[in-house]
Structure 1
Amino acid sequence: MSRTIKAATTPSTAPSGDDTVGRTVRELIADVRRRGDAAVRELSARFDRWEPESFRLGDAQIAELIGTLDPQVIEDIKTVQANVRGFAEAQRESMSEIEVETSPGVFLGHRHVPVQSVGAYIPGGRYPLTASAHMTIVTAKAAGVPRVVACTPPIRGEIPAATVAAMHLAGADEIYILGGVQAIAAMSVGTETVAPVDMLAGPGNAYVAEAKRQLFGEVGIDLFAGPTEILVVADDSADPFVVAVDLLSQAEHGPDSPAVLVTTSERVATETARHIEEILPGMPTGDIAGPAWRDHGQIILADDLDEAYRVADGFAYEHVQILTENPREALDKMHAYGALFLGEGTCVSYGDKVIGTNHVLPTRGAARYTGGLWVGMYLRTVTYQEVRDPQASADLGVLCGRAARVELFEGHARSGDVRAAKYAGVPLDWTGHFQAVRA
């Protein structure tokens, strides 16, 4: 039986119970819905102290911003986006369209049709999060989305040039320097200058996440995002220093980001905890990673790897890193995770920033029932039907009449009756609830 070496002091998945965020977001969305651009401008000035003549960047502005960046930054953005694009395109190619003849003259099929417009939210705040542009925009374009609107907030009153470069190179059709609920609302409900989109994608703070939740249904969304999560499964072969570094790499996302180690080795558990305490004081983002580890960090000792995998599945975390002698074993043993990172040669940070898989992943236990953002989320799998043979349509018409009348759907039954009559001469008699029978 597993035992806890270090416990979290604050539940990571518990809702706050405070409806202040919900009420505030509801009011802000209603204001944008009612007053459009005027509301967006006032909210941007209020929350971001940002009130330019136009929130949308023109081609010349974009070129000027890109020109301020070191060429190596541009080259790196292009390389990472090529990785993301290559994997997304491979995923798209794996999605076959089908057409089958289920019985003589009856053809059924499905096609994968792109969403026609997507709003990509690229968060800002403390850091220019260029990687979110790669994940949301590049993947949408790989799916064939014709219009991608991208929004990102100013950072300390400045336009984040690297983020703009990433959005532009990813293929964004419209770029707005606009953040928060006002950006989500503008893209979703539309204003005088921003045409509404069909779907929203991208992470954000609690207010952005709540705005997406409230607007879901009016528009589609990718995922309900929560704090970033990491869980490491390790045996005695793991390097405790590497484990510690990798746990803290994700804890720096936010003070509410949980980091969990599940290990079969008491040595790895003890030494990992020691390394974390040694690393934190000198870590530039220790003011965030420290509280995250203190309040949400856990170390759990399991009897064997089978138990470790079961414990890990119980967390159903966003990122699960496997540092064991045989990491690929987890592909068969584990079932609930957003993404697996197998072996010491890879790490969650690769997935976040450079390797090519998508980093928009399910959190707060959602990995039990969904995967993360991928090219397929921007596609609608739609079906079509065609009955080419008159006799087949007549036979289906007779069957439809019987099946629909069992459910007391007379109108449905009559749609079948008329085809049975037209194509096979079955007499129509709708006095009472006549069941068509082949003559």
Structure 2
Amino acid sequence: MPTTYIKTRASNENGVNGASLDVPAIVRDVIDNVRSKGDAAVRSFSEKFDKWSPKSFKLSKEDIASIIARVPKQTVDDILTVQDNVRTFALAQRKTLVDLEMEIRPGVHLGQKNIPISSVGAYIPGGRYPLLASAHMTIVTAKAAGVKRVIACTPPIRGEIPPATVAAAHFAGADEIWILGGVQAIAAMAIGTETVAKVDFIAGPGNPFVAEAKRQLFGEIGIDLPAGPTEILIVADEKADPVTVATDILSQAEHGPDTPSVVITNSKKVGEETLVEINKQLKILPTADIAGVSWSRLGEIVVVDSLDEAYKLADVYASEHVQILTENPREALEKMSNYGALFLGKETCVSYGDKCIGTNHVLPTKGAARFTGGLWVGKYLKTCTYQHVTSEKESGELGLLCGRAARAENFEGHARSGDLRAHKYLGMQFEWLS
């Protein structure tokens, strides 16, 4: 049976209403203004885009305490539990990154050190939803890596400070919390202003403007990864429950109207029943106004001959979240290589990764899983090498080798650095030294 589509994407993928904005130009203008005008530009754009212009964008210790006091105890307890999960996994990851030193030849020592980045900006999106989970993923992981200074920026939501997000940032270990969003927040952290001290690295998801700001500023600062809209792909076999497939697809489609949601199955029956169930659930889902648009535009149900074909096709998509609803889900670990994160078996769902299980939810999108993984503790570390030659004889031998290797590339200055050691430690004579 050839590959068939029970549902395909809509032809218009450029925008919900077909409208387009020159996102790079808008972002460039904001960055240029922040670079030249500092705090004044930040305030102006915050007023323009968020209708937000407090006396200070930075929360004081007293502000933070007062805001957290408004958060329900159960929410605080849940934040602490989730952060403990994230911290436990991040610290375990950190232990796998070890410093090393080896003596490659007698007296020739080579080594590496994993050095934490000094300062990090954590962007915690707001907009449609208060994404406090992003505080866990960006700040807790940075602190587990040993980052000394973490500044958190999150936008107001409909003109109000999001208390649970502030609580999450505080308990995660943020050294500063700013109620500031959008491109102006990214630019302020990356460039620095009169009141915002520049950071070395920015992490966290965001809307297309935030993603573009990170892209344009990359090189001036480091970034975790360029990220687009959330994606989900489910591989389902003939025994998969269509209700589960539909529910889990819609769990991600509600992120926004631009979320690709794909089901690949070797069962036409499962595919057809999943489509019926999705349409049924959209009639009662409170976020159907968003999820329904996303599913209509970017949803797909694909039927293939076998699970092997399903895994191969899933690797072509290289989706951010890949959920495996099959009888033997762990075979995907051997048969797949392109994914942001795998979610194995019917007891596991993508929402666990998004909200609470402990792995990081800042993941590659738009096919980037072909060449990178997601945010993890290692992203906050610089693996730096060092060399120490303690043997004069070996230094001389290296000098001879360096001279030959450098002259093969016409680098005479490099060659003479080697010559000098060969002269000093082996007594070799060179015309330029006479």
Q: Is the structural similarity TM-score above 0.5?
A: yes
What is aligned with 1:437? Answer: none
Counterparts of 2:409 and 2:14, CA distance in 1: 43
| Structure 1 spans left out of the alignment, 5+ residues | 435-439
Question: Would the aligned equivalents of 2:237 and 2:265 in 1 still touch at CA under 8 Å?
Answer: yes
1:279-358, aligned counterparts within 5 Å?
279-358=281-360
Structure 2, gaps ≥5 residues long: none
Quote the Cα distance in structure 2 between the aligned partners of 1:99 and 1:197.
Answer: 30
C-alpha distance in structure 2 between counterparts of 1:19 and 1:278, whole Å:
34
Could you tell me how far apart the structure 2 residues matched to 1:371 and 1:2 are?
29
2:71 equivalent to 1:64: no
Partner of 1:8: 9
AA aligned to 1:92 is: R
What SS class does the counterpart of residue 382 from structure 2 fall into?
A: strand
Partner of 2:31: 29
Give the conservation status (yes or no) of the 8 Å contact 1:12–1:258. Answer: no
Contact 2:14 2:20 in 1 (8 A): no
* CA distance in structure 2 between the partners assigned to 1:12 and 1:260 by the alignment: 15
CA contact (8 A) 1:255 1:292 kept: yes
Per-residue CA deviation, residues 388-423 of structure 1 (Å, 9 max, x unaligned), is 111000000011011101111111011011111111
| Structure 1 position 11, deviation (Å) | 6.9
Matched residue type, 1:263: T
Closer, same or farther in 2 for the Cα pair 1:335/1:17, shift >3 Å?
Answer: farther
**Which of these residues, 259, 268, 272, is aligned with residue 266 of structure 1?**
268
Quote the offset at 1:6 in angstroms: 0.7
Identity %, equivalent residues: 64
Aligned residue in 1 for 2:146: 144
Distance 1:19 1:45, change over 3 A: closer
C-alpha deviation, 1:19, in angstroms: 6.5
CA distance, structure 2, for counterparts of residue 129 and residue 64 of structure 1:
20
How many Å separate the matches in 2 of 1:13 and 1:404?
52
Q: 1:10 to 1:201 in 2, by over 3 A?
A: farther
| Distance in 1 separating the partners of 2:19 and 2:337 | 30
* Secondary structure of the structure 1 residue equivalent to 2:129: coil
CA pair 21-75 structure 1, distance change in 2 beyond 3 A: same
Change beyond 3 A, Cα 1:351–1:366: same
Structure 1 residue identity aligned to 2:86: V
After the TM superposition, which residues 35-184 of structure 1 pair with which residues of structure 2 at under 5 Å, given as runs? 35-184=37-186
C-alpha separation between the residues in 2 aligned to 1:168 and 1:405? 57
Alpha-carbon separation, structure 1, partners of 2:12 and 2:430: 66
Q: Which residue of 2 aligns with 1:214?
A: 216
Q: Given residue 329 of structure 2, which amino acid in structure 1 is its aligned partner?
A: P
More deviation in 95-104 or 312-321? Answer: 95-104
Take 1:12 and 1:381, find their aligned partners in 2: how far apart are those partners? 40
Mapped to 1, the partners of 2:395 and 2:117 lie a distance apart of 33
- C-alpha distance in 1, partners of 2:119/2:98? 23
Normalised by the length of structure 2, the TM-score is 0.97
- Mapped pair 1:204 → 2:206: yes
**Counterparts of 1:300 and 1:24 in 2: how far apart (Å)?**
38
The 1:304–1:11 alpha-carbon spacing in structure 2 relative to 1, beyond 3 Å, is farther
Q: 1:63 to 1:318 in 2, by over 3 A?
A: same
Aligned-pair Cα RMSD in Å: 1.5
Displacement of 1:428 in angstroms is: 3.0
From the superposition, tell whether residues 13 and 157 of structure 1 become closer, same or farther in structure 2 (CA, over 3 Å).
closer
Deviations 1:260-309 (A, max 9, x none): 10001111101110110100011110000001100100000010100000
Q: Which residue of 2 aligns with 1:377?
A: 379
CA distance in 1, matches of 2:384, 2:3: 46
Change (3 A) 1:19 1:244: closer
Taking the aligned partners of 1:283 and 1:98, their CA distance within structure 2 comes to 53
Q: Is the 8 A contact 1:11 1:296 kept in 2?
A: no
Question: Is contact 1:239–1:268 with CA below 8 Å preserved after alignment?
Answer: yes
- The one-letter code sitting in structure 2 at the alignment partner of 1:8 is R
| Residue from 393, 406, 410 that aligns with 1:391 | 393
1:231 and 2:233 correspond = yes
CA distance in 1, matches of 2:159, 2:35: 26
Give distance in 2, aligned partners of 1:404 and 1:430.
15
Would you say how many aligned residue pairs link Structure 1 and Structure 2?
431
CA 12–344 in structure 1, closer or farther in 2 if over 3 Å, else same: farther
Equivalent of 1:400 in 402, 411, 415: 402
The residue identity in structure 2 corresponding to 1:66 is I
Cα distance in 2, alignment partners of residues 220 and 174 from structure 1: 19
Cα distance in structure 2, aligned partners of 1:393 and 1:13: 61
Amino acid across the alignment from 1:55: F
SS of the residue aligned with 2:296?
A: helix
- The aligned amino acid for 1:382 is C
CA distance in 2, matches of 1:396, 1:243: 62
Q: Using a 3 Å threshold, how does the CA distance of structure 1 residues 19 and 104 change in structure 2: closer, same or farther?
A: farther
Query: 1:96 and 1:328 mapped to 2: Cα distance?
Result: 28
Q: Please name the residue that 2:248 is paired with.
A: 246
CA distance in 1 between partners of 2:72 and 2:252 (Å): 27
**Aligned-partner SS, 1:185:** helix
Alignment match, 2:259: 257
Residues 355-374 of structure 1 aligned to structure 2 (within 5 Å): 355-374=357-376
Amino acid at match of 2:99: E
Asked if 2 retains the 8 angstrom alpha-carbon contact of 1:101 and 1:108, the reply is: yes
Q: Which amino acid aligns with 1:278?
A: K
